Structure 1
Amino acid sequence: MTDDLAFLYEMQAFYMDGLLGTTVTTIIFLLAAFTDWLDGYIARKMRLGTAFGAFLDPVADKLMVAATLVLLCTKPLECAVFREFHWLLTAPSIAIISREIAMSAAREWAALQNGRVLEAVAVNNLGKWKTATQMTSLTVLLASRDPRLKQQSVLIAFGVALLYVSVGLAVWSLIVYVRNIWRVLPK
Protein backbone atom coordinates (compact mmCIF):
# COMPACT_ATOMS: atom_id res chain seq x y z
CA MET A 1 0.00 0.00 0.00
CA THR A 2 2.84 2.42 0.69
CA ASP A 3 3.91 2.06 -2.96
CA ASP A 4 0.50 3.43 -4.01
CA LEU A 5 1.02 6.55 -1.90
CA ALA A 6 4.55 6.87 -3.23
CA PHE A 7 3.18 6.93 -6.80
CA LEU A 8 0.90 9.85 -5.95
CA TYR A 9 3.66 11.85 -4.30
CA GLU A 10 6.08 10.99 -7.08
CA MET A 11 3.60 12.25 -9.69
CA GLN A 12 3.13 15.54 -7.88
CA ALA A 13 6.86 16.09 -7.40
CA PHE A 14 7.66 15.01 -10.97
CA TYR A 15 5.93 18.06 -12.45
CA MET A 16 7.76 20.49 -10.17
CA ASP A 17 10.53 22.22 -12.09
CA GLY A 18 14.10 22.44 -10.91
CA LEU A 19 16.34 20.65 -8.50
CA LEU A 20 13.71 20.27 -5.76
CA GLY A 21 11.26 18.43 -8.01
CA THR A 22 14.01 16.22 -9.41
CA THR A 23 15.39 15.41 -5.97
CA VAL A 24 12.03 14.69 -4.36
CA THR A 25 10.88 12.53 -7.28
CA THR A 26 14.10 10.52 -7.27
CA ILE A 27 14.07 10.04 -3.49
CA ILE A 28 10.43 8.88 -3.53
CA PHE A 29 11.19 6.40 -6.32
CA LEU A 30 14.30 5.11 -4.52
CA LEU A 31 12.45 4.75 -1.22
CA ALA A 32 9.58 2.88 -2.88
CA ALA A 33 12.00 0.57 -4.71
CA PHE A 34 14.08 -0.02 -1.57
CA THR A 35 11.10 -0.68 0.72
CA ASP A 36 9.66 -3.04 -1.90
CA TRP A 37 12.95 -4.98 -1.99
CA LEU A 38 13.27 -4.94 1.82
CA ASP A 39 9.71 -6.17 2.30
CA GLY A 40 10.34 -9.11 -0.04
CA TYR A 41 13.70 -9.87 1.55
CA ILE A 42 12.26 -9.92 5.07
CA ALA A 43 9.26 -12.00 3.99
CA ARG A 44 11.55 -14.61 2.41
CA LYS A 45 14.13 -14.70 5.23
CA MET A 46 11.58 -14.89 8.03
CA ARG A 47 9.15 -17.04 6.04
CA LEU A 48 6.39 -14.47 6.47
CA GLY A 49 5.22 -14.57 2.87
CA THR A 50 1.54 -14.95 2.10
CA ALA A 51 -0.25 -15.89 -1.11
CA PHE A 52 -1.79 -12.42 -1.23
CA GLY A 53 1.61 -10.79 -0.73
CA ALA A 54 3.14 -12.95 -3.45
CA PHE A 55 0.35 -11.82 -5.77
CA LEU A 56 0.40 -8.14 -4.80
CA ASP A 57 4.16 -7.54 -4.74
CA PRO A 58 4.75 -8.00 -8.50
CA VAL A 59 1.67 -5.88 -9.22
CA ALA A 60 3.11 -3.02 -7.15
CA ASP A 61 6.47 -3.39 -8.96
CA LYS A 62 4.79 -3.24 -12.34
CA LEU A 63 2.70 -0.21 -11.37
CA MET A 64 5.74 1.64 -10.06
CA VAL A 65 7.74 0.96 -13.23
CA ALA A 66 4.84 1.67 -15.61
CA ALA A 67 3.89 4.91 -13.84
CA THR A 68 7.48 6.15 -13.92
CA LEU A 69 7.87 5.26 -17.61
CA VAL A 70 4.64 7.08 -18.46
CA LEU A 71 5.78 10.13 -16.47
CA LEU A 72 9.14 10.19 -18.27
CA CYS A 73 7.38 9.93 -21.64
CA THR A 74 4.90 12.72 -20.86
CA LYS A 75 7.61 15.18 -19.91
CA PRO A 76 10.68 14.29 -21.99
CA LEU A 77 14.13 14.91 -20.65
CA GLU A 78 15.71 18.19 -21.68
CA CYS A 79 18.60 16.89 -23.71
CA ALA A 80 19.66 17.60 -27.28
CA VAL A 81 19.41 13.98 -28.37
CA PHE A 82 15.71 13.80 -27.42
CA ARG A 83 14.81 16.70 -29.70
CA GLU A 84 15.68 14.55 -32.72
CA PHE A 85 14.94 11.10 -31.33
CA HIS A 86 11.89 11.61 -29.14
CA TRP A 87 11.01 7.89 -29.41
CA LEU A 88 14.16 6.83 -27.50
CA LEU A 89 12.17 6.56 -24.27
CA THR A 90 8.80 5.74 -25.81
CA ALA A 91 9.90 2.57 -27.62
CA PRO A 92 11.40 0.80 -24.56
CA SER A 93 8.52 2.04 -22.40
CA ILE A 94 6.00 0.39 -24.69
CA ALA A 95 8.07 -2.80 -24.79
CA ILE A 96 8.44 -2.97 -21.00
CA ILE A 97 4.79 -2.21 -20.24
CA SER A 98 3.62 -4.69 -22.91
CA ARG A 99 5.86 -7.41 -21.49
CA GLU A 100 4.57 -6.78 -17.98
CA ILE A 101 0.94 -7.02 -19.12
CA ALA A 102 1.72 -10.24 -21.03
CA MET A 103 3.48 -11.76 -17.99
CA SER A 104 0.63 -10.75 -15.68
CA ALA A 105 -1.83 -12.44 -18.03
CA ALA A 106 0.38 -15.55 -18.24
CA ARG A 107 0.67 -15.77 -14.45
CA GLU A 108 -3.06 -15.30 -14.01
CA TRP A 109 -3.75 -18.05 -16.56
CA ALA A 110 -1.11 -20.29 -14.95
CA ALA A 111 -2.79 -19.88 -11.57
CA LEU A 112 -5.89 -21.51 -13.06
CA GLN A 113 -3.89 -24.45 -14.43
CA ASN A 114 -1.99 -27.21 -12.71
CA GLY A 115 0.94 -26.65 -10.35
CA ARG A 116 3.54 -27.42 -13.04
CA VAL A 117 2.32 -24.53 -15.17
CA LEU A 118 2.39 -22.18 -12.20
CA GLU A 119 5.97 -23.26 -11.44
CA ALA A 120 6.89 -22.48 -15.06
CA VAL A 121 6.12 -18.79 -14.51
CA ALA A 122 7.67 -18.46 -11.05
CA VAL A 123 10.05 -15.52 -10.74
CA ASN A 124 13.60 -16.46 -11.71
CA ASN A 125 17.00 -14.74 -11.55
CA LEU A 126 16.59 -13.31 -15.05
CA GLY A 127 13.43 -11.54 -13.90
CA LYS A 128 15.27 -10.22 -10.86
CA TRP A 129 18.07 -8.83 -13.05
CA LYS A 130 15.45 -7.24 -15.30
CA THR A 131 13.83 -5.55 -12.32
CA ALA A 132 17.19 -4.36 -10.96
CA THR A 133 18.23 -2.82 -14.30
CA GLN A 134 14.82 -1.19 -14.70
CA MET A 135 14.92 0.33 -11.23
CA THR A 136 18.50 1.53 -11.71
CA SER A 137 17.84 3.03 -15.14
CA LEU A 138 14.68 4.77 -13.96
CA THR A 139 16.50 6.16 -10.93
CA VAL A 140 19.25 7.55 -13.18
CA LEU A 141 16.71 9.02 -15.62
CA LEU A 142 14.70 10.62 -12.81
CA ALA A 143 17.85 12.03 -11.20
CA SER A 144 19.12 13.48 -14.49
CA ARG A 145 16.02 15.59 -15.19
CA ASP A 146 17.51 18.83 -13.88
CA PRO A 147 19.17 20.61 -16.85
CA ARG A 148 21.63 22.34 -14.51
CA LEU A 149 23.37 19.06 -13.76
CA LYS A 150 26.90 18.77 -15.03
CA GLN A 151 27.29 15.88 -17.44
CA GLN A 152 23.49 15.60 -17.75
CA SER A 153 23.81 14.17 -21.27
CA VAL A 154 26.15 11.44 -20.02
CA LEU A 155 23.75 10.50 -17.22
CA ILE A 156 20.81 10.43 -19.60
CA ALA A 157 22.73 8.32 -22.12
CA PHE A 158 23.66 5.87 -19.36
CA GLY A 159 20.06 5.73 -18.10
CA VAL A 160 18.66 5.16 -21.60
CA ALA A 161 21.29 2.52 -22.40
CA LEU A 162 20.47 0.70 -19.17
CA LEU A 163 16.77 0.96 -20.01
CA TYR A 164 17.46 -0.80 -23.32
CA VAL A 165 19.44 -3.47 -21.47
CA SER A 166 16.39 -4.00 -19.26
CA VAL A 167 14.23 -4.32 -22.39
CA GLY A 168 16.56 -7.02 -23.65
CA LEU A 169 16.33 -8.82 -20.30
CA ALA A 170 12.54 -8.37 -20.29
CA VAL A 171 12.14 -9.91 -23.75
CA TRP A 172 14.63 -12.68 -22.95
CA SER A 173 12.83 -13.55 -19.70
CA LEU A 174 9.45 -13.51 -21.49
CA ILE A 175 10.82 -16.01 -24.03
CA VAL A 176 12.13 -18.20 -21.20
CA TYR A 177 8.76 -18.13 -19.43
CA VAL A 178 6.85 -18.96 -22.64
CA ARG A 179 9.27 -21.82 -23.36
CA ASN A 180 8.82 -23.13 -19.80
CA ILE A 181 5.05 -23.01 -20.16
CA TRP A 182 5.22 -24.78 -23.52
CA ARG A 183 7.28 -27.62 -22.01
CA VAL A 184 4.75 -28.40 -19.26
CA LEU A 185 1.57 -28.08 -21.30
CA PRO A 186 -0.17 -31.36 -22.04
CA LYS A 187 0.59 -32.46 -25.59
Structure 2
Amino acid sequence: MNFRSGLLNLPNLLTLGRIAAIPLLVFFLFFDGPRASFWAAIIFSVAAITDWLDGWLARKWEVVTVLGKFLDPLADKLIVMAALIMLIPHDRVPAWAVFLILAREMIVTGLRSIASSEGVVIAASDLGKYKTIFQMVAIIGLLLHYDYYWLFGLRWELFHADMHHFGIFFFYIALMLTVWSGADYLFKFFKVIARK
Protein backbone atom coordinates (compact mmCIF):
# COMPACT_ATOMS: atom_id res chain seq x y z
CA MET A 1 0.00 0.00 0.00
CA ASN A 2 1.29 3.47 -0.92
CA PHE A 3 0.86 5.69 2.14
CA ARG A 4 1.66 8.83 0.16
CA SER A 5 -1.30 8.79 -2.22
CA GLY A 6 -4.98 7.92 -2.46
CA LEU A 7 -7.73 8.39 0.08
CA LEU A 8 -6.03 6.15 2.64
CA ASN A 9 -2.76 8.06 2.71
CA LEU A 10 -0.85 8.22 6.01
CA PRO A 11 -2.18 11.66 7.07
CA ASN A 12 -5.79 10.48 6.59
CA LEU A 13 -5.07 7.21 8.41
CA LEU A 14 -3.65 9.18 11.36
CA THR A 15 -6.81 11.30 11.40
CA LEU A 16 -9.00 8.18 11.32
CA GLY A 17 -6.89 6.77 14.15
CA ARG A 18 -7.68 9.90 16.17
CA ILE A 19 -11.41 9.32 15.64
CA ALA A 20 -11.04 5.62 16.54
CA ALA A 21 -9.30 6.62 19.81
CA ILE A 22 -12.37 8.55 21.05
CA PRO A 23 -14.31 5.52 22.42
CA LEU A 24 -11.17 4.41 24.28
CA LEU A 25 -10.74 7.90 25.78
CA VAL A 26 -14.41 7.93 26.82
CA PHE A 27 -14.06 4.44 28.33
CA PHE A 28 -11.21 5.51 30.64
CA LEU A 29 -13.11 8.65 31.62
CA PHE A 30 -16.00 6.57 32.95
CA PHE A 31 -13.65 5.78 35.84
CA ASP A 32 -12.34 8.31 38.33
CA GLY A 33 -8.88 7.54 39.58
CA PRO A 34 -5.20 8.27 38.92
CA ARG A 35 -4.62 5.22 36.70
CA ALA A 36 -7.65 5.74 34.42
CA SER A 37 -6.92 9.48 34.25
CA PHE A 38 -3.29 8.79 33.32
CA TRP A 39 -4.29 6.48 30.43
CA ALA A 40 -6.91 8.96 29.22
CA ALA A 41 -4.19 11.65 29.19
CA ILE A 42 -1.83 9.37 27.23
CA ILE A 43 -4.53 8.67 24.60
CA PHE A 44 -5.35 12.37 24.29
CA SER A 45 -1.65 13.32 24.09
CA VAL A 46 -1.01 10.82 21.28
CA ALA A 47 -4.08 12.20 19.47
CA ALA A 48 -2.74 15.77 19.88
CA ILE A 49 0.64 14.72 18.41
CA THR A 50 -1.04 13.00 15.44
CA ASP A 51 -3.09 16.17 14.87
CA TRP A 52 0.14 18.08 14.27
CA LEU A 53 1.80 15.18 12.42
CA ASP A 54 -0.98 14.50 9.90
CA GLY A 55 -1.13 18.17 8.87
CA TRP A 56 2.65 18.37 8.56
CA LEU A 57 2.84 15.18 6.46
CA ALA A 58 -0.06 16.25 4.22
CA ARG A 59 1.69 19.54 3.43
CA LYS A 60 5.14 17.97 3.05
CA TRP A 61 3.96 15.17 0.75
CA GLU A 62 1.41 17.44 -0.98
CA VAL A 63 -1.42 14.98 -0.35
CA VAL A 64 -4.07 17.40 0.86
CA THR A 65 -7.38 15.69 0.01
CA VAL A 66 -11.03 16.70 0.30
CA LEU A 67 -11.52 13.79 2.72
CA GLY A 68 -8.60 15.02 4.83
CA LYS A 69 -9.95 18.59 4.86
CA PHE A 70 -13.27 17.23 6.16
CA LEU A 71 -11.92 14.64 8.63
CA ASP A 72 -9.11 16.63 10.26
CA PRO A 73 -11.19 19.42 11.86
CA LEU A 74 -13.97 16.90 12.61
CA ALA A 75 -11.53 14.61 14.48
CA ASP A 76 -10.18 17.58 16.46
CA LYS A 77 -13.61 18.79 17.48
CA LEU A 78 -14.89 15.30 18.37
CA ILE A 79 -11.97 14.38 20.63
CA VAL A 80 -11.97 17.78 22.38
CA MET A 81 -15.77 17.63 22.86
CA ALA A 82 -15.58 14.04 24.15
CA ALA A 83 -12.85 14.90 26.68
CA LEU A 84 -14.52 18.09 27.94
CA ILE A 85 -18.00 16.56 28.23
CA MET A 86 -16.64 13.52 30.08
CA LEU A 87 -14.73 15.80 32.50
CA ILE A 88 -17.92 17.59 33.63
CA PRO A 89 -19.25 14.77 35.90
CA HIS A 90 -15.81 14.55 37.57
CA ASP A 91 -16.08 18.29 38.46
CA ARG A 92 -12.86 19.08 36.63
CA VAL A 93 -14.40 21.72 34.31
CA PRO A 94 -17.45 23.98 34.71
CA ALA A 95 -20.35 22.96 32.45
CA TRP A 96 -21.06 26.58 31.41
CA ALA A 97 -17.51 26.95 30.06
CA VAL A 98 -17.77 23.70 28.10
CA PHE A 99 -21.08 24.97 26.66
CA LEU A 100 -19.38 28.20 25.51
CA ILE A 101 -16.59 26.24 23.81
CA LEU A 102 -19.01 23.88 22.05
CA ALA A 103 -21.32 26.74 21.05
CA ARG A 104 -18.40 28.64 19.51
CA GLU A 105 -17.32 25.57 17.50
CA MET A 106 -20.87 25.02 16.19
CA ILE A 107 -21.36 28.70 15.29
CA VAL A 108 -18.03 28.96 13.46
CA THR A 109 -18.65 25.67 11.61
CA GLY A 110 -22.09 26.94 10.54
CA LEU A 111 -20.66 30.28 9.37
CA ARG A 112 -17.93 28.48 7.41
CA SER A 113 -20.60 26.40 5.64
CA ILE A 114 -22.60 29.51 4.72
CA ALA A 115 -19.48 31.35 3.54
CA SER A 116 -18.36 28.33 1.49
CA SER A 117 -21.79 28.03 -0.19
CA GLU A 118 -21.46 31.71 -1.18
CA GLY A 119 -17.98 31.09 -2.61
CA VAL A 120 -16.35 33.11 0.18
CA VAL A 121 -13.19 32.02 1.98
CA ILE A 122 -12.57 33.61 5.38
CA ALA A 123 -8.94 33.24 6.37
CA ALA A 124 -8.34 31.62 9.74
CA SER A 125 -6.53 33.85 12.21
CA ASP A 126 -3.64 32.91 14.49
CA LEU A 127 -6.07 33.23 17.40
CA GLY A 128 -7.65 29.92 16.41
CA LYS A 129 -4.23 28.21 16.39
CA TYR A 130 -3.34 29.58 19.82
CA LYS A 131 -6.77 28.54 21.10
CA THR A 132 -6.16 24.97 19.95
CA ILE A 133 -2.68 24.80 21.54
CA PHE A 134 -3.91 26.10 24.92
CA GLN A 135 -6.95 23.81 24.72
CA MET A 136 -4.81 20.71 24.14
CA VAL A 137 -2.41 21.58 26.99
CA ALA A 138 -5.34 22.37 29.31
CA ILE A 139 -7.15 19.11 28.57
CA ILE A 140 -4.01 17.03 29.15
CA GLY A 141 -3.56 18.74 32.54
CA LEU A 142 -7.23 18.27 33.44
CA LEU A 143 -7.13 14.61 32.41
CA LEU A 144 -4.07 13.99 34.61
CA HIS A 145 -5.83 15.98 37.39
CA TYR A 146 -4.07 14.47 40.39
CA ASP A 147 -0.93 15.49 42.28
CA TYR A 148 2.25 14.03 40.79
CA TYR A 149 5.82 13.83 42.00
CA TRP A 150 8.00 13.81 38.91
CA LEU A 151 11.31 12.54 40.35
CA PHE A 152 10.89 8.76 40.62
CA GLY A 153 7.93 9.21 42.97
CA LEU A 154 10.04 10.98 45.63
CA ARG A 155 7.69 13.21 47.61
CA TRP A 156 9.77 16.39 47.44
CA GLU A 157 7.81 19.60 47.08
CA LEU A 158 10.30 20.86 44.50
CA PHE A 159 9.15 18.12 42.10
CA HIS A 160 5.47 18.28 43.04
CA ALA A 161 2.85 19.23 40.41
CA ASP A 162 -0.87 19.74 40.97
CA MET A 163 -2.08 18.90 37.47
CA HIS A 164 -5.62 20.13 38.07
CA HIS A 165 -4.44 23.67 38.83
CA PHE A 166 -2.07 23.48 35.85
CA GLY A 167 -4.91 22.34 33.56
CA ILE A 168 -7.52 24.81 34.80
CA PHE A 169 -5.07 27.73 34.38
CA PHE A 170 -4.59 26.87 30.69
CA PHE A 171 -8.29 26.04 30.34
CA TYR A 172 -9.35 29.60 31.21
CA ILE A 173 -6.75 31.04 28.82
CA ALA A 174 -8.12 28.69 26.13
CA LEU A 175 -11.67 29.77 27.00
CA MET A 176 -10.75 33.44 26.60
CA LEU A 177 -9.08 32.71 23.24
CA THR A 178 -12.11 30.61 22.20
CA VAL A 179 -14.53 33.50 22.77
CA TRP A 180 -12.12 36.05 21.25
CA SER A 181 -11.42 33.98 18.11
CA GLY A 182 -15.16 33.24 17.74
CA ALA A 183 -16.02 36.95 17.92
CA ASP A 184 -13.19 37.72 15.48
CA TYR A 185 -14.52 35.15 13.01
CA LEU A 186 -18.08 36.49 13.39
CA PHE A 187 -16.85 40.03 12.70
CA LYS A 188 -14.91 38.89 9.59
CA PHE A 189 -17.90 36.89 8.34
CA PHE A 190 -20.34 39.81 8.50
CA LYS A 191 -17.72 42.16 7.05
CA VAL A 192 -17.16 39.87 4.01
CA ILE A 193 -20.88 39.09 3.54
CA ALA A 194 -21.77 42.82 3.70
CA ARG A 195 -19.48 43.44 0.71
CA LYS A 196 -21.34 40.92 -1.47
Please give the range of the TM-score, normalised by the shorter of the 2 chains.
0.7 to 0.9
Instruction: Compare CA radii of gyration and give the structure with the larger one.
Output: 2
* Alignment of 1:127 onto 2:142: no
User: For 1:91 and 1:17, how far apart are their aligned partners in 2?
Assistant: 21
Give the counterpart letter for 1:45 in structure 2: K
* Structure 2 residue aligned with 1:24: 39
Please report the RMSD computed on the Cα atoms of aligned residues, expressed in angstroms: 1.8
Task: Check whether the contact 2:38–2:144 (CA below 8 A) recurs between aligned residues.
Answer: yes
Q: Do the aligned residues in 2 keep the contact of 1:130 with 1:166 (CA within 8 Å)?
A: yes
Quick check: 1:92–1:163 contact (8 Å CA) kept in 2? no
The 5-angstrom pairing of residues 16-95 of structure 1 reads 16-77=31-92, 89-95=94-100
Tell me which amino acid in the other structure corresponds to 1:23.
F
Gaps of 5+ in 2: 1-15, 150-159
How far is the alpha carbon of 1:49 from its aligned partner? 0.8
SS at match of 2:91: coil
Gap regions ≥5 residues in structure 1: 78-87
Q: Deviations over 1:116-141 (max 9, x none)?
A: x22x1x33321111000000000000
- Deviations 1:77-107 (Å, cap 9, x if unpaired)? 4xxxxxxxxxx52222111111001111111
Report the Cα distance in structure 1 between the residues aligned to 2:86 and 2:19, rounded to whole angstroms.
15
Partner of 2:167: 159
Q: TM-score by structure 1 length?
A: 0.83
Give 1:74 deviation, angstroms: 2.0
Q: Is the 8 A contact 2:148 2:163 kept in 1?
A: no
Give the Cα separation in 2 of the matches to 1:179 and 1:25: 37
Q: Deviations over 1:50-74 (max 9, x none)?
A: 1221122111111111111100002
Question: Is the helix fraction higher in 1 or 2?
Answer: 1
- Residue equivalent to 1:14: 29
The match for 1:107 is 112
Q: CA deviation at 1:181?
A: 1.6
Q: Distance in 2 between matches of 1:26 and 1:5?
A: 16
Count of equivalent residues: 170
